[in-house]
Structure 1
């Protein structure tokens, strides 16, 4: 008996309306991806399990308070929560001691470069992930040119040949892709600073 896959948005809605089983289905469905992501950053199974649980505690609290509004994008939303908890973990474990008005205090003697780099890398990964999600929303011809140029490092001449258009058309599509991407970044309030 093949059961039809229920969309995440339907399961979220069912859970909000009191069906506890719906959340269990969502957790089982996305556990591997979310847990693997956390573990890849933390590299400690026990801590990763704690962060995974904390992620779903936050998810449950947000859903129960009726504050979930991610327009059907459940997994990216949960991944963002997990990501923020990973960053919180790094901040907590390399906690900066508080010194009151002393001239000798140098923040860089307290935080190692390695910690700063891990955090910067996490932030950079999140930015790249956010942008990848936005690229999906672009019109097909613009998305194609953008991916060829940015991810496949192709020249506009190669793009034109591969897509059977003139170089000017390829350039125009790239220009519109960047304009639309900028609009999407503003619409989704994505901060692109490291």
Structure 2
């Protein structure tokens, strides 16, 4: 018999619905980084991100128990859609749709093994570059910003981006193309040097 933690998402969902509650814990553990990172990249506040993350899984549990999961193996995209709707609700409540906080973004979300061998000065420069790029991304139109975050920060494929956004793959690719054109323009206008010397 296959060990429970090796089952795919759809099988775990079915077993959870049938009463095996530890299956949900496996799903949360499997996808928590991706879902939490998605939330945090938009709200930019750890406490708010934690609250929305918890609310997401409360809603996931409620929806599963009511038989509202029909995604057939796309659990993470479905959970991120729930999180996205809760993020929108949060901003509506806060009336901050046009003034999203730009408070310091903690660097740990950008950590990458390829930077582990750098010295302190290189680390400081790379952190500054990450911050500047993140601020530039915030200036993009919503649809372009969303594609950049999903592709480069969350590792979504263009197919997943298209499914999540409810658009065609060509539209998702087009948004990425325009996002990159707009980022290049902003970099040139501000004469930014975004390379490690």
Provide the TM-score with structure 1 as the length reference. Answer: 0.53
Whole-angstrom distance in 1 between the partners of 2:6 and 2:58: 24
TM-superposed deviation, 1:124: 6.4
Determine which of 126, 137, 160 is the counterpart of 1:133: 160
1:66 matched to 2:67: yes
1:52 matched to 2:53: yes
Whole-angstrom distance in 2 between the partners of 1:86 and 1:35: 12
Aligned residues: 126
For the 8 Å contact 2:144–2:176, the answer to whether it is kept is no
Whole-angstrom distance in 2 between the partners of 1:123 and 1:152: 6
Whole-angstrom distance in 2 between the partners of 1:49 and 1:66: 26
TM-superposed deviation, 1:14: 0.3
TM-superposed deviation, 1:94: 0.8
The 1:123–1:93 alpha-carbon spacing in structure 2 relative to 1, beyond 3 Å, is farther
Whole-angstrom distance in 2 between the partners of 1:36 and 1:134: 15
Structure 1 portions without partners, runs of 5+ = 96-110, 137-142, 154-194
User: Equivalent residue of 2:6, what SS?
Assistant: coil
The 1:112–1:79 alpha-carbon spacing in structure 2 relative to 1, beyond 3 Å, is closer
The 1:131–1:152 alpha-carbon spacing in structure 2 relative to 1, beyond 3 Å, is closer
Partner of 2:10: 9
Which structure's relative contact order is higher, taking Cα pairs within 8 Å and 6+ residues apart?
2
Structure 2 portions without partners, runs of 5+ = 102-137, 151-155, 164-168, 178-197
Whole-angstrom distance in 1 between the partners of 2:100 and 2:43: 14
For the 8 Å contact 1:38–1:82, the answer to whether it is kept is yes
Task: Compare CA radii of gyration and give the structure with the larger one.
Answer: 1
1:121-141 CA distances to partner (integer Å, 9 max, x unpaired)? Answer: 269627x879632769xxxxx
1:37-61 CA distances to partner (integer Å, 9 max, x unpaired)? Answer: 1111111111110000000000000
Post-superposition, which runs of at least 4 consecutive aligned residues in structure 1 deviate over 3 A? 111-115, 128-132, 149-153
Partner of 1:42: 43
Whole-angstrom distance in 1 between the partners of 2:50 and 2:65: 22
1:119-130 mapped onto 2 (5 Å cutoff): 121=142, 125=146
Partner of 2:28: 27
- Alpha-carbon RMSD across the aligned residues, in angstroms, is 3.8
Whole-angstrom distance in 2 between the partners of 1:61 and 1:85: 14
1:155-166 mapped onto 2 (5 Å cutoff): none
Whole-angstrom distance in 2 between the partners of 1:112 and 1:17: 43
